Chains A and B, each alone.
Chain A
Amino acid sequence: MRFMLLQTYGPTASDAPAMTEWAASDVRAHIAFQQELNERLAELGELIDAVGLAGPEAARIVTSDGRTPVVTDGPFPETKELLAGYRLVDVESWDRALEIAALVSAAPGPGGAPVQAPIEVRQVMGAPATDEL
């Protein structure tokens, strides 16, 4: 079963400030944690992809009526809803996907305390279908 674990810029349960305000050593520890987690998931044959996105400051939003596209530059009022990054994993069960999400959520933040970011767990379409109703 494939799952996408999504993280936004929304508020965290630990009320951690944005990462740009953390001490350099805390940022390093956080990044090292993410890399180690990716390596562990890759070793287990569970990781398909891990992607961090460039900040919302560099984001553009496009809408189009099919003729003239409208491109909106930031800053956006609702940055909190924007995606910060995701992991795509292929695991045995929902339980395992939730377990990985819990690891991601507990990534170290300022002073090494778990950030407790909310991680959205979404199954990727592709389960077996049935023709018997």
Chain B
Amino acid sequence: MTPEPEPRAIEALLREHAPRALAIVAGRYRDFDGAEDAVQEALIAAAAQWPAGLPDDPRAWLVTVASRRLVDAYRSADARRRREREAWDEREAPPADEPATGDVDDSLTLVLLCCHPALTPGAAIPLTLRAVGGLTTREIAAAFLVPEATMAQRISRAKATLRAAGGRFEPPPDDARDARTRSALHVLYLMFNEGYVASEGDDLARPDLAAEAVRLTRMLHASLPEDPEVAGLLALMLLTEARRPSRVDPAGRLVPLPAQDRTRWSPALIAEGVVLLTDAMRRGEVGEYQLQAAVAAVHDQAPTYADTDWTRIAGLYRALARLSDNPMVGLNAAVAVAMTDGIPAALEGVDAAAAALGDHHRVHAVRAHLHELAGDREQAAAEFRAAAARTANEAERRYLVAAASRLSETAREESRTISGVHVENGGSAPTP
């Protein structure tokens, strides 16, 4: 008799087998849309029934239950659809056994289908989480802080869009494969960033989107081990995740890179990311994800903030700017430029990025940081306040407000101690 399984073990089993079960059912009935719904129902049934005892073959259980649900759905569908179905089945009898393709190919096909370029990221991310990640609609809704009905509707719209775009459960044609892979990487990158939202409290019911994105990107990397940008994205995620333990302090406050406790960074993730990245860059096709990962690697490997190899980071950002016209690149480069070429050059770079980005909170936050480096506390405080007023992240706002008040306080104290009368604290103020 199977001992009562741990809830976490069940979850892991479900996640592991969901994409393969979906591939089998979708292949058998040639109906991705219906199979996706049926597998979702099977997952919910499994979550309810497996705690009493695991089936001997979890994947076969999921396939059987999902197939039964799908057939029930066909039976209850209207007569017109049923007639269509029968005509279809006669023309092309479904294979009785599992398709011959392996797990790896199935996962790849599923990811490339769910991240189809016809879908916006807001549609592709939930669909990928459900079809490939094996998450339930309820869990996905919780991750995005929307009601379950809203998320269910969004996923079913996504599938309708896929259908209209001719997306089917089959490997994409060779000439579309590369573009489809790029599209999948973009979706996974955004999913990871979404997971970086500092959560309000520890809500265990809320799945960790960053961890899901890492898991799915690992899956993609196992399917496409030769693709340097897939490896680059995975490295970027691992090298960013490595810093997670020190990104937020015990009180839930955001800790910026210079103030992070580097002893808490994960050496294992850093080592894995660096090996992946080194191997990918050796192939010679350097792309945006590899370069971003390289920047993260330089930060992760610096013993202290002061010992960061800014020359290398500035060089990596120059390479990134050649590949991408995203003005964020210029903004992210600003601190490295300040360290290598001086603050005036960095501020010039920020002005150029600001021309394209407009009144963006990151523009103000970076300016604030540069003014602080220059010792101009009043200007820095004003820019921190401007950034705080414009960010849409609560943890970031708290950090920016605290930075502004810390600086204006020291600026006031300084003006008192200098002469006892009010002194304008200009750019010539001494740096501590």
* A interface residues, Cβ below 8 angstroms from B: 1-2, 42-49, 90-92, 123-133
CB contact under 8 A between A123 and B257, given known A43-B153, A45-B154, A92-B120 = no
A124 to B391, CA, bound (A): 10
Q: Is the CB of B247 within 8 A of A127?
A: no
Residue of B nearest to A122 (CB): B392
CB contact under 8 A between A129 and B254, given known A43-B153, A90-B150 = yes
Residues of B within 8 A of A123 (CB): 392
A131 touches which of B153, B197, B243 (Cβ 8 Å): B243
A125 to B362, CA, bound (A): 15
Q: Is the CB of A46 within 8 A of B392?
A: no
Residues of B within 8 A of A91 (CB): 122
Residues of A within 8 A of B366 (CB): 133
Q: Is the CB of A133 within 8 A of B365?
A: yes
A63, chain B: closest CB distance, angstroms = 25
Which of B43-51, B92-100, B170-178, B394-402 contacts its partner? B394-402
Residue of A nearest to B122 (CB): A92
Name the prevailing secondary structure of the A interface residues: loop
B418, chain A: closest CB distance, angstroms = 28
Enumerate B374-414 residues with CB–CB distance to A below 8 Å: 391-397
Residue of A nearest to B151 (CB): A45
A119, chain B: closest CB distance, angstroms = 19
A-B contact pairs, 19 of them (CB 8 A): A42-B153, A44-B157, A46-B154, A47-B150, A48-B150, A92-B120, A127-B391, A127-B393, A128-B194, A128-B196, A129-B395, A129-B396, A130-B196, A131-B254, A131-B257, A131-B260, A133-B256, A133-B335, A133-B366
Q: Is the CB of A90 within 8 A of B393?
A: no
Q: Is the CB of A45 within 8 A of B155?
A: yes
Question: Among the interface residues A45, A123, A125, A126, which one has the most CB atoms of the partner chain B within 10 A?
Answer: A45
A37 to B145, CA, bound (A): 22
Q: Is the CB of B391 within 8 A of A133?
A: no
Q: Is the CB of A126 within 8 A of B121?
A: no
Residues of A within 8 A of B332 (CB): 132
A75, chain B: closest CB distance, angstroms = 34
A97, chain B: closest CB distance, angstroms = 12
CB contact under 8 A between A128 and B393, given known A92-B120, A133-B257, A133-B365 = yes
CB contact under 8 A between A44 and B153, given known A125-B392, A127-B391 = yes
Q: A126-B394, A128-B193, A131-B254 are in contact. List 18 more A-B contacts (CB 8 A).
A: A1-B392, A2-B145, A42-B150, A42-B153, A43-B157, A45-B151, A90-B150, A92-B121, A123-B392, A125-B393, A125-B397, A128-B196, A128-B197, A128-B393, A129-B197, A130-B196, A131-B257, A132-B257
Residues of A within 8 A of B299 (CB): 132
Question: Among the interface residues B149, B335, B369, B392, which one has the most CB atoms of the partner chain A within 10 A?
Answer: B392
A126 touches which of B156, B247, B256, B392 (Cβ 8 Å): B392
B291, chain A: closest CB distance, angstroms = 14
Q: Is the CB of A126 within 8 A of B145?
A: yes
Residues of A within 8 A of B391 (CB): 127
Q: Is the CB of B150 within 8 A of A46?
A: yes
A32, chain B: closest CB distance, angstroms = 21
A123 to B360, CA, bound (A): 14
Residues of B within 8 A of A129 (CB): 196-198, 254, 393, 395-396
> Across the A-B interface, how many residue pairs have beta carbons closer than 8 Å?
83
Q: How would residues 108 to 148 of chain B score, 1 for a CB under 8 Å from any chain A CB and 0 otherwise?
A: 00000000000011110000000000000000000011110
A45 to B155, CA, bound (A): 8
A74, chain B: closest CB distance, angstroms = 32
Residue of A nearest to B196 (CB): A128
A89, chain B: closest CB distance, angstroms = 9
Closest 7 CB pairs between A and B? Answer: A45-B154, A127-B392, A45-B153, A129-B393, A129-B396, A92-B122, A125-B394
Any chain A CB within 8 A of the CB of B255?
yes
Q: Is the CB of B197 within 8 A of A127?
A: yes
Residues of B within 8 A of A124 (CB): 392
A44, chain B: closest CB distance, angstroms = 6
A128 to B393, CA, bound (A): 6
A61 to B202, CA, bound (A): 34
Residues of A within 8 A of B147 (CB): 48-49
A92 to B394, CA, bound (A): 20
Q: Is the CB of B150 within 8 A of A126?
A: no
Q: Is the CB of A131 within 8 A of B247?
A: yes
Residues of B within 8 A of A132 (CB): 256-257, 299, 332, 335
A123 to B149, CA, bound (A): 21
Residues of A within 8 A of B149 (CB): 42
A132, chain B: closest CB distance, angstroms = 6
A44 to B198, CA, bound (A): 27
A1 to B254, CA, bound (A): 21
Residues of B within 8 A of A90 (CB): 144, 146, 150
A47 to B243, CA, bound (A): 35
A46, chain B: closest CB distance, angstroms = 7
Residues of A within 8 A of B196 (CB): 128-130
CB contact under 8 A between A48 and B394, given known A92-B122, A131-B254, A133-B256 = no
A58, chain B: closest CB distance, angstroms = 27
